[in-house]
A and B are shown apart, each in its own frame.
Chain A
């Protein structure tokens, strides 16, 4: 599926219940047309990961997710051999003559365990590769990632080179716990996802939590906007706003005020010091 214009992208995203602002829609459009990875940054809960998931639905592609963490290495990201199966196979070979081709079979494709990056390369254009929280991985891993992202080929010494005929769409998210290398950034288009404005937030809540009334969505969006203006350790994102609205709606509340708001505040604010501040602001204590 290709998009003719930024508006097309905006509409298609909306059809998948994702409301993107003009900047994000433009970045996605460009990333797809220019076949470049899209690097998304922004505070937690603004919907970075969701972009990858929505894009996969939109393109009717397979979502392949690589969650990064400290110490992740090629064996967990690219491929690994299925050693236990290889051992079993080797034991069955031990009886009688060992033919050369049977040994070669030991490192055949059937013993190769595919990890996300290899899976994405093999699937090619039919995949959306979501590399989540790349800032959690080590520097070396980033360099390795850069290598894979620049030509979408992988060499497995025992099998040969595997290349993507057409590269998959790539979405990379980062929480900015450390500055990424310039080389990686140079490969990517960049977009900073901001908190949505009031109107868009109301729309997002209504779209994502259809059971929530317009009035409640508006009240929650306004309350969340007030919370964001406070000096909180963790400012609530759109994800928190949706959860909170849903919780309030389940309790039959009509607005994010009073006792119901206090009881459900934990959906929006998840830090003890913040809770005290939020209560003071919203409930006037």
Chain B
């Protein structure tokens, strides 16, 4: 098959959204040349696909390009989130007042100003002992440095060096409810996730409503508007219903159980208004609490002092939550940031 056709297929895949670079297409051409035409499908699978999630897209594109065209209706994602930055009005709001203000009551401009402040928010994530060692005043002998120092004293290890296990931040996993009932808060919480992602390396973020979407990559952009736009494009169920149990299950099955949640600090931001089965939620929360180091639940409804966690979902989840806090305003998030270290 001519390289031109193969290259065109590479471009078709690129149009379908796969990250197919020129290098990959070159590999594909080489692979195709080594194989019989019958194995063309596998030549592409090995060279053009780089993750399991891309396989269906590849299959579809391959069938459309080489096989009989297959009609697959694709629904454009409905994007509801929009951030308009109006710096002028934003600055008019005194910072302290803004910090206390509930996200639900914030205007677009105020949210934009909050985004700025959130970039500076620091979360004190609890630490754990790492396998790596670093120089210390006491601990286990550090032979490497002891040897170096011994040269100064004619090969006699007089001045001995020590090393100790390093301490490292635990992984922080954010699970954000972006369903309809959280509408007033979800934008601020995604901004919060963006800030958290920018502040540390070991942070992962997911959004959920009726399904789960990993937004770690999308939120990686430095610019908050850009990051929100990317996230909005990936999450397709903004403002839908909430199936926390199912979303948690999807998280644990696909990511958490494999290692992402193990020993991590998991932060769930949701109002707990579960439309799914509360029993499933309880079961998944139990699973999560066994894997995670600590589970924190932020419920903006707590903003109201009279709030009691009576909703079926919230009630089912509560026994497995280590810290139940509000997170409805920047001040409450800051408070949380400080409290985390003691968990």
Question: Which residues from chain A sit less than 8 Å from chain B, CB to CB?
Answer: 5-6, 22-23, 26-27, 29-31, 33-34, 36, 39, 41, 69-73, 81, 83-84, 86-87, 90-94, 98, 135-136, 139, 175-179, 182, 185-186, 189-192, 233-234, 273
Q: Is the CB of B143 within 8 A of A87?
A: yes
Asked if A233 contacts B130 (CB within 8 A), the reply is no
Closest to B153 in A: A94
Say yes or no: B35 contacts A26, CB within 8 Å: yes
How many angstroms between the C-alpha atoms of A182 and B18 in the bound complex? Answer: 12
Closest beta carbon of chain B to A157's beta carbon, Å: 14
CA distance A39 to B252 in the complex (A): 24
**B residues in contact with A191, CB < 8 Å:** 45-46
- Chain A contacts of B287 at CB under 8 A? 233, 273
Contact in complex: B50, A182 (CB < 8 Å): yes
* Complex: A186 Cα to B19 Cα, angstroms: 10
- Give the nearest-CB partner of B249 in chain A: A231
Q: What is the bound-complex CA distance between A30 and B46, given in angstroms?
A: 8
B301 to chain A, nearest CB (A): 30
Considering only residues 35-81 of chain B, those with a C-beta below 8 Å from chain A are 35-36, 39, 42-43, 45-47, 49-52, 55
Contact A189 B201, beta carbon cutoff 8 Å: no
* A22–B42 touching, CB < 8 Å: yes
Q: Are B50 and A176 in contact (CB under 8 A)?
A: no
Given contacts A177-B258, A178-B204, A190-B50, 18 further A-B contacts (CB under 8 A): A26-B35, A27-B45, A29-B35, A39-B50, A41-B52, A71-B168, A83-B143, A90-B151, A92-B155, A175-B258, A177-B255, A182-B19, A185-B51, A189-B47, A190-B49, A233-B252, A233-B287, A273-B287
- Which chain A positions have C-beta within 8 A of B31? 30, 34, 189
**Chain A residue at minimal CB-CB distance from B40:** A26
Of B43, B143, B259, the residue contacting A177 (CB under 8 A) is B259
Chain A's closest residue to B157 (CB) is: A87
Bound-state Cα–Cα, A226 to B156, Å: 68
Nearest-neighbour CB distance to chain A for B132, whole angstroms, equals 5
Tell me if B130 and A70 are in contact (CB < 8 A).
yes
**Sample (7) of A-B pairs whose CB atoms are under 8 Å apart:** A27-B42, A83-B143, A139-B201, A182-B50, A192-B49, A233-B287, A273-B287
Instruction: Decide if B255 touches A26 in the complex (CB within 8 Å).
Output: no
Asked whether, in the complex, the Cβ of B35 is within 8 Å of the Cβ of A30, the reply is yes
- B8 at the A interface (CB under 8 A): no
CB distance from B203 to the nearest CB of A (A): 12
> Residue B50 contacts which of A33, A139, A185 (CB distance < 8 angstroms)?
A185
A262 to B136, CA, bound (A): 54
| Docked pose: A41 CA to B45 CA in angstroms | 13
B21 interface residue, CB < 8 Å from A? yes
A81:B259 contact, CB within 8 angstroms: no
Question: Within 8 Å CB of B216, what residues of A?
Answer: 179
Question: Which residues of B pack against A, CB within 8 Å?
Answer: 19, 21, 23-24, 27, 30-31, 34-36, 39, 42-43, 45-47, 49-52, 55, 130-132, 143-144, 146-147, 150-151, 154-157, 168, 201, 204, 216-217, 252-253, 255, 257-260, 283, 287
Q: Complex formed: what's the CA distance from A86 to B146 in Å? A: 11
Minimum CB–CB distance for A70 against chain B, Å: 6
Main secondary structure of the interface of B (DSSP, over half): helix
Assess the A22–B55 pair: CB atoms within 8 A.
no
Give the complex CA separation of A139 and B202 in angstroms: 10
In the complex, the answer to whether B150 meets A34 with C-beta atoms within 8 Å is no
Contact of B147 among A36, A69, A83 (CB under 8 A): A83
Distance in angstroms from B323 CB to nearest chain A CB is: 25
Chain B: CB-nearest residue to A90: B155
Q: Determine which residue in A70, A84, A91, A94 has the highest number of CB atoms from chain B within 10 A of its CB, and name it.
A: A70
Docked-complex contact A178 and B51, CB < 8 angstroms: no
The complex places the Cα of A273 from the Cα of B168 at a distance, in Å, of: 33
- Compute how far the CA of A22 lies from the CA of B43 in the bound complex, rounded to whole angstroms: 11
Q: Is the beta-carbon distance between A186 and B21 smaller than 8 angstroms?
A: yes
Chain A residues near B144: list those with CB within 8 A.
81, 83
CB–CB A91/B155 < 8 A: yes
With a cutoff of 8 Å between Cβ atoms, the chain B residues found around residue A30 in the complex are: 31, 34-35, 43, 46-47
Q: Is the CB of B155 within 8 A of A93?
A: yes
Contact B146 A83 (CB under 8 A): yes
Min Cβ gap B197→A in Å is: 14
Contacts of A175 in B (CB 8 A): 258-259
Please give, as numbers and ranges, the residues of chain A lying within 8 Å of B150 by CB-CB distance.
87, 90-91
Considering the chains assembled together, what is the distance between the CA atoms of A33 and B46 in angstroms? 13
Specify which chain B residues have a CB less than 8 angstroms from the CB of A273 in the assembled complex: 283, 287
A87 in contact with B130 given A30-B46, A178-B260 (CB within 8 Å): no
What residues of A have a CB within 8 angstroms of the CB of B168 in the complex? 71
Partner of A192, one of B30, B55, B260: B55
Query: A281 vs B35: C-alpha distance in the bound complex, in angstroms?
Result: 43
CB distance from B14 to the nearest CB of A (A): 14
Tell me if A73 and B132 are in contact (CB < 8 A).
Answer: yes
Least distance between A249 CB and chain B CB atoms (Å): 31
Nearest-neighbor residue (CB-CB) of A44 within chain B = B258
Q: Quick check: B130 and A26 within 8 Å, CB to CB? A: no
Q: Which of B46, B156, B253 contacts A233 (CB 8 A)?
A: B253
Q: Which B residues lie within 8 Å of A192 (CB)?
A: 49, 52, 55
Chain B residue with Cβ nearest A27: B46
Closest chain A residue to B132, Cβ basis: A71
Query: Which of chain B's residues has its CB closest to A23's CB?
Result: B42
Given contacts A34-B34, A71-B132, contact A176 B55 (CB under 8 A): no
Check if B253 sits within 8 Å of A190, measured CB to CB.
no
